[in-house]
């Protein structure tokens, strides 16, 4: 009985809010935008896309750019205002939606950062709630866009149905050619080919954490060492319990080859985050070996991109450190998952450069991964040349996230 009463009350509130939203639509500002993030704070990759989205929208004429979030993000470009509808985004709360509706009707544009969540493989519910926000903005007379996303061969069927049913005037973009092909085939609608927003991240300052890392890299180079960066992804540990031990073995072989390593944690969520795993992997080294290891305590995507420009190679379990590195011309040797990497490397002309490795292969044969890393260091100039020749086109594609045509 109480549950039925609550449902009826929420329906009444939702109906009243739609009436107010309809009235507020007259106050809609065509040059205002609301950005919908793919998740809660904790990922530097998501922060990179938000940073670029805010900067890009302002560059393309938006005079007001807000962010749908209840918590602050570690970003280099701050929104004009944070809008809290977290209870709806995360739990589907109708009360939260009703409270937000009058605000949504005032935006001229809504932008969803689809990232790697859009296919619903991780969880379908957060995708569906985010799409619902886009549709409400569209219903109020605004425009809606889904920024460049990845899409696997095995998307969630409910999410696929919802995406197929979206109005044709909602722009959906894919961030690399393989996802573009999958989305057009599975969603049966035109999809815009772009590149990831993070390719547009531009460092705006040089904080102490970056200065200290530059000084450390310079010191190691004076000792004749080459320098790589290394990221470990806690998501890989679920199916590869030996990940940390393999990372320790990998680092040991790299350092013994007279190569220094900057550890680059990417995601701070969960008690087994990238940060925790990186520190655990380094803890398994000898005191002498750890002299060639430096932990980058980056707080924003720009911190990471600044440092990536100063290393010779990145070895990574996550895609956005690879994008931030290759956006500076630095090659990235990546552990693949969720069918996200292959299209990215094709976009940069690197599909034949043997720069991808399965996480299981890394865990079972870290010695081979280390050997491949050392080989890539020797061939770095050739790979850099390929990246640099393709970067202008990739950046142009990334700007395509913001075009209306």
Secondary structure, 3-state, 85-114:
CHHHHHHCCHHHHHHHHHHHCCEEEEEEEE
Question: Strand 293-295 vs strand 313-316: parallel, antiparallel, or unpaired?
Answer: unpaired
Report the residue count for the chain: 405
CB environment 145-171: b (16+ within 10 A), e (fewer): bbbbbbbbeebbeebbebbeebeeebb
Digit-by-digit pLDDT tens for the chain (405 residues) are 434 433 443 444 344 445 444 545 557 899 999 999 999 998 999 999 999 999 999 999 999 999 999 999 989 899 999 999 989 998 899 899 989 999 999 999 999 999 999 999 999 999 999 999 999 999 999 999 999 999 999 999 999 999 999 999 999 999 999 999 999 999 999 999 999 999 999 988 889 999 999 999 999 999 999 999 999 988 888 889 999 999 999 999 999 999 999 999 988 887 889 999 999 999 999 999 999 999 999 999 999 999 999 999 999 999 999 999 999 999 999 999 877 899 999 999 999 999 999 999 999 999 999 999 999 999 999 999 999 999 999 999 999 999 874
> What's the confidence (pLDDT) of residue 237?
87
Query: Rounded to an integer, what distance in angstroms lies between the CA atom of residue 47 and that of residue 271?
Result: 20
Owner of token pair 């959906």? 172
Is 313 within 8 Å of 380 (Cβ atoms)?
yes
List the chain domain ranges. 2-194, 208-391
Q: In angstroms, rounded to a whole number, what is the distance separating the alpha carbons of residues 119 and 178? A: 14
Residue (of 315, 301, 203) closest to 259 by Cα position: 315
CB 243 within 8 A of CB 363: yes
| Residue 307 CB partners (closer than 8 Å, separation 6+) | 210, 213, 214, 217, 229, 262, 264, 296, 298
Q: Is 72 exposed, middle or buried (0-12, 13-18, 19+ CB in 10 A)?
A: exposed
| pLDDT computed for residue 26 by the predictor | 58
Q: Which residues contact 222 (CB under 8 A, 6 or more apart)?
A: none
Structure confidence at residue 239 (pLDDT): 86
Phi, psi of 149 (to 5 degrees): -130, 165
Q: What is residue 174's predicted lDDT score, i.e. its pLDDT?
A: 98
Q: Of the candidates 193, 146, 203, 204, which has an alpha carbon nearest to the alpha carbon of residue 394?
A: 193
Please check whether residue 111 is in contact with residue 33, taking contact to mean a CB–CB distance below 8 angstroms: yes
d(CA 178, CA 169): 23
Domain 208-391: CATH superfamily, name plus number = Glycogen Phosphorylase B; (3.40.50.2000)
Give the Cα separation of 193 and 372 in Å (integer). 32
CA distances from 195 to 146, 178, 242, 284 (A): 13, 12, 34, 38
| Interatomic CA distance for residues 197 and 148, integer angstroms | 7
Q: Which of 260, 266, 356 is nearest to 74 (CA)?
A: 266
Residues paired with residue 171 on neighbouring β-strands, in sequence order: 145
pLDDT value for 60: 95
pLDDT value of position 309:
97
2-194 fold: Rossmann fold (3.40.50)
């Amino acid at each position: 009985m109480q549950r039925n009463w609550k449902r009826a009350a929420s329906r009444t509130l939702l109906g009243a809010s739609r009436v107010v939203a309809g009235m507020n639509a007259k106050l809609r500002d065509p040059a205002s935008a609301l950005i919908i993030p793919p998740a809660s704070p904790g990922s530097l990759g998501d922060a990179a896309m938000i940073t670029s989205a805010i900067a890009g929208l302002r560059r393309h004429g938006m005079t007001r750019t807000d962010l749908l979030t209840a918590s602050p993000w570690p970003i280099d470009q701050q929104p004009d205002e944070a809008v809290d509808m977290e209870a709806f985004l995360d739990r589907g709360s109708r009360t939260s939606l009703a409270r937000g509706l009058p605000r949504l009707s005032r935006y001229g544009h809504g932008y969803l950062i689809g990232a790697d969540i859009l296919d619903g493989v991780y969880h379908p519910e957060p995708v569906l709630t985010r799409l619902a926000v886009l549709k409400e903005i569209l219903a109020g007379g605004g425009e809606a866009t889904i920024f460049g996303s990845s899409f696997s061969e095995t998307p969630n069927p409910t999410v696929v149905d919802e995406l197929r049913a979206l109005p044709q005037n909602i722009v959906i973009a894919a961030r690399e050619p393989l996802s573009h092909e999958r989305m057009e085939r599975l969603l049966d609608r035109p999809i815009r080919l772009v590149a990831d927003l993070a390719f547009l991240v531009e460092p705006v300052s040089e904080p102490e954490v970056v200065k200290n890392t530059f000084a450390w890299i310079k010191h190691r180079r004076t000792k004749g060492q080459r320098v790589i960066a290394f990221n470990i992804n806690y998501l890989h540990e679920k199916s590869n319990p030996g990940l940390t031990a393999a990372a320790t073995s990998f680092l040991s072989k790299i350092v013994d080859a007279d190569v220094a390593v900057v550890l680059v944690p990417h995601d701070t969520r969960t008690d087994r985050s990238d940060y925790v795993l990186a520190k655990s992997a380094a803890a398994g080294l000898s005191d002498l070996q750890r002299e060639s290891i430096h932990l980058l305590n980056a707080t924003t995507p720009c911190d990471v991109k600044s440092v990536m420009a100063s290393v010779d190679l990145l070895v990574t379990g996550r895609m956005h450190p690879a994008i931030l590195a290759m956006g500076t011309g630095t090659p990235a040797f990546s552990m693949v998952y969720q069918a996200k990497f292959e299209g990215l490397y094709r976009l940069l002309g690197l599909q034949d450069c043997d720069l991808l490795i399965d996480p299981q292969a890394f865990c079972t044969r870290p010695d081979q991964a280390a050997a491949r890393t050392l080989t890539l260091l020797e061939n770095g100039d050739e790979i850099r040349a390929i990246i640099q020749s393709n970067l202008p086109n990739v950046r142009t594609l990334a700007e395509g996230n913001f075009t209306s045509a």
